[in-house]
Amino acid sequence: MSQNLEKTYNPKEIEDKLYQKWCENKYFHAEVDRSKKPFTIVMPPPNITGKLHMGHALDNTMQDILIRYKRMQGYNALWIPGTDHAAISTEVKVTNQLKDEGIDKKELGREKFLERTWQWKEEYGGTITSQLKKMGVSCDWDRERFTMDEGCSEAVEKVFLNLHKKGFIYRGSRIINWCPVCKTSLSDAEVEHEEQDGFFWHIKYPIVGTDRSLEIATTRPETLLGDTAIAVHPDDERYKDIVGKMCKLPLTDREIPIVADYYVDKEFGTGAVKITPAHDPNDFEVGKRHNLPELNIMNDDATINEKYGGKYAGMDRYEARKAMVEDLKEQGYLVKVVPHSHNVGTHDRCHTTVEPMIKQQWFVKMEELAKPAIEAIKNGELKFVPERFDKIYLHWLENIRDWCISRQIWWGHRIPAYYCQDCGEVVVASEAPEKCPHCGCTHFKQDEDTLDTWFSSALWPFSTLGWPHETEDLDYFYPTNVLVTGYDIIFFWVIRMVFSGYAHTGKAPFNTVLIHGLVRDSQGRKMSKSLGNGIDPLDIIDQYGADALRMTLITGNAPGNDMRFYNERVEASRNFANKVWNASRYILMNMEGKEITEPQAEDLGPADRWILSACNNVVKDVTENLDKFELGIALSKIYDFIWDEFCDWYIELSKYAIYHADENPKSANAALWTLKKVLGDALKLLHPYMPFVTEEIYSKLVPEEESLMMSSWPVYEEKWNDAENENILNHYKEIVRGVRNVRSEMNVPNSRKATIYVVCEDEKLAKGLAVLKESAMMMASAGDFIVQADKSGIADDAVSVVVPDATVYVPLEELIDFEQEKERLTKEETRLNKEIARSNGMLNNEKFVSKAPAAKVQEEREKLEKYEQMLAQVKERLAGLQKK
Binding residues for ATP: 529
- Beta-bridge partners for 510: 480
Q: How far apart are CA 500 and CA 168, in angstroms?
A: 12
Edge-to-edge strands of the sheet including 426-428?
426-428, 417-420, 444-446
Q: How far apart are CA 201 and CA 335, in angstroms?
A: 8
Coil vs helix vs strand at 311: helix
Q: How far apart are CA 683 and CA 671, in angstroms?
A: 18
Q: Which residues of 713-748 are buried (b: 16+ CB within 10 A; e: fewer)?
A: bbeeeeebbbeebbbbbebbbbbbebbbebbeeeeb
Cβ contacts of 383 within 8 Å, gap of 6 or more: 377, 390, 511, 512, 513
- Beta-bridge partners for 135: none
Q: How far apart are CA 782 and CA 799, in angstroms?
A: 14
Coil vs helix vs strand at 246: strand
Which residue type occupies 672? L
Q: How far apart are CA 270 and CA 804, in angstroms?
A: 70
Distance between alpha carbon 840 and the CA centroid of its chain, in Å? Answer: 57
Q: Which residues are annotated as a binding site?
A: 529
Q: How many CB atoms lie within 10 A of CB 244?
A: 9
Coil vs helix vs strand at 228: coil
Nearest residue to 196 (alpha-carbon basis) of 49, 344, 386 = 344
- Beta-bridge partners for 42: 80
Nearest residue to 86 (alpha-carbon basis) of 135, 124, 134 = 124
Q: Are 729 and 788 in contact (CB under 8 A)?
A: no
Q: Are 63 and 484 in contact (CB under 8 A)?
A: yes
Burial of 862 (0-12, 13-18, 19+ CB in 10 A): exposed
Q: How far apart are CA 359 and CA 142, in angstroms?
A: 43
DSSP code of residue 493: I
Cβ contacts of 773 within 8 Å, gap of 6 or more: 785, 787
Measured over the CA atoms of residue 500, residue 506, residue 509 and residue 515, the dihedral's sign is positive
Q: Are 516 and 486 in contact (CB under 8 A)?
A: yes
> How many helices (H) and strands (E) would you count in the chain?
31, 29
Nearest residue to 219 (alpha-carbon basis) of 54, 361, 79, 341 = 341
Q: How far apart are CA 505 and CA 487, in angstroms?
A: 25
CA distance readout (Å), 33 to 38, 121, 130, 416, 696: 8, 34, 29, 38, 29
Distance between alpha carbon 357 and the CA centroid of its chain, in Å? Answer: 34
Burial of 593 (0-12, 13-18, 19+ CB in 10 A): exposed
Q: What is the dihedral of CA 633, 638, 644, 650, to 10 degrees?
A: 150
Q: In terms of DSSP bridges, do strands 403-404 and 406-407 run parallel, antiparallel, or are they unpaired?
A: unpaired
Burial of 120 (0-12, 13-18, 19+ CB in 10 A): middle
